[in-house]
Amino acid sequence: MSRDRDGTADAPTIQEKLPDPQRAPLRLSEFDLQDKVFVVTGGGRGLGLTLAEALVEAGAKVYCLDRLPEPDDEFRDVQTRLGPKYGGELLYDRIDVRQADDVDRVVARIAQRHGRMDGCVTAAAVQNVTPALDYPADKIMEMLDINYKGVYCTAVSCARQMIKYDCAGSILLVASMSGLVANRRLTSSVYNSSKAAVCQLSRSLAMEWAKIVNGKPIRVNALCPGNIITPMVLKNFEDDPKLKAAWEQGNMLGRLSHPHEYRGAALFALSDASSFMTGSQLVIDGGYTAW
């Protein structure tokens, strides 16, 4: 015990206030995902894979669903690195999120295998950089099919299983800062609109599902990242070599981000640490949208 500022009463020290490690051996237990089951679309590479890895490290079994016939080499490396040491597991299923029935069937099969479903991250998306005046009309719905319908149907398939197995939980829809502002020098009007739609979808689903699991919630939030160095963005730099420097200057931190800088956000959003957060947008963009 220590003396209070006025010296009149004893106050507990910070060590005394912390949980007794004998009785509460797990630090920050609200972040623990032991035994939980999640799906991550677009988890074959890039941001989705990195977020999936974080969830496995916290103890979850994570199924990465992606249309790649085989996941990226990076996926195997992550799988090997994780091994069984965290109690979780990283698995892969090939799926095209445009095929709603397939998504429904695969998510149902995963839930049945484990007798539960605790949530998902929807990271599968594509981008197309074309000035609006040149954008072929028939390509508009093609992108929305993946970036909007794919997200919508994955969230619904996942929610169905969460309700069936009585699992309150959390869904994180990967949107983008491009859903909030026009991304400088990036002529991607359809992509940007698709991400704005995902932001709105998170609010609508959050409202519909706030008490859907026997009075308990399926929380739904959107993640709005800034520019991240992933295969998607490396392609943009190939097409426009001046883009990298322009983007670096576009945010307050003067650099691009890396997928690992979103790990904490995924863990926060999918765990009980965010139990009072739903219908929100986690904007992580180096200050891009703040000035």
Ligand X SMILES: NC(=O)c1ccc[n+]([C@@H]2O[C@H](COP(=O)([O-])OP(=O)(O)OC[C@H]3O[C@@H](n4cnc5c(N)ncnc54)[C@H](O)[C@@H]3O)[C@@H](O)[C@H]2O)c1
Query: Which are the catalytic amino acids?
Result: 191, 195
Question: What distance lies between CA 198 and its chain's CA centroid?
Answer: 12
Q: What would the two tokens of residue 96 be?
A: 């095209």
CA distance 236 to 191: 13
89 vs 261 by CB, closer to ligand X: 261
Q: If binding is defined by CB under 6 A, does position 286 make contact with ligand X?
A: no
Max Cα-Cα span within the chain: 76
Looking at 21-29, 80-88, 152-160, 229-237, which segment touches ligand X (CB under 6 A)? 229-237
73 close to 92: Cβ distance less than 8 angstroms: no
Q: Give me the half-sphere count of Cα atoms (radius 13 Å) on the Cβ side of residue 2.
A: 9
DSSP state string for 16-59? HHSPPTTT--STTGGG--TT-EEEEETTTSHHHHHHHHHHHHTT
Query: Per CB under 6 A, does 186 bind ligand X?
Result: no
* Of the candidates 99, 44, 97, the residue with the CA atom closest to the CA atom of residue 72: 44
Look at residue 117 and give its three-state secondary structure: coil
- Minimum Å distance from CB 193 to ligand X? 12
Under rule CB under 6 A, residue 170 binds ligand X: no
Q: Rounded to the nearest whole angstrom, what is the least distance from the CB of residue 220 to ligand X in the complex?
A: 16
The residue (of 187 and 210) whose beta carbon lies closer to ligand X is 187
Report in angstroms the alpha-carbon separations of 262 from 78, 137, 199, 228: 16, 34, 17, 10
Nearer to ligand X among residue 96 and residue 261 (C-beta): 96
Residue 146 within binding range of ligand X, rule CB under 6 A? yes
CA distance 20 to 27: 10
Residue nearest to ligand X (CB): 46
Q: Decide if residue 284 touches ligand X (CB under 6 A).
A: no
- Is residue 263 a contact point for ligand X (CB under 6 A)? no
Instruction: Determine, following the binding rule CB under 6 A, whether residue 176 of this chain makes contact with ligand X.
Output: yes
Q: What residues between 46 and 85 interact with ligand X by CB under 6 A?
A: 46-48, 66-68
Minimum CB separation of residue 75 from ligand X in Å reads 9
Residues 27, 58, 167, 210, CA torsion sign:
positive
What number of chain residues touch ligand X (CB under 6 A)? 29
Check binding of 228 to ligand X (CB under 6 A).
Answer: yes
Tell me which residue of 155, 74, 79 sits closest to 119, measured CA to CA.
Answer: 155
Tokens in use for 138?
Answer: 């028939």
Nearer to ligand X, 45 or 116 (CB): 45
Least distance from C-beta 81 to ligand X, angstroms?
18
Confirm or reject binding of residue 225 to ligand X (CB under 6 A): yes
List contacts with ligand X (CB under 6 A).
41-42, 44-48, 66-68, 95-98, 123-126, 146, 150, 174, 176, 225, 227-228, 230-233
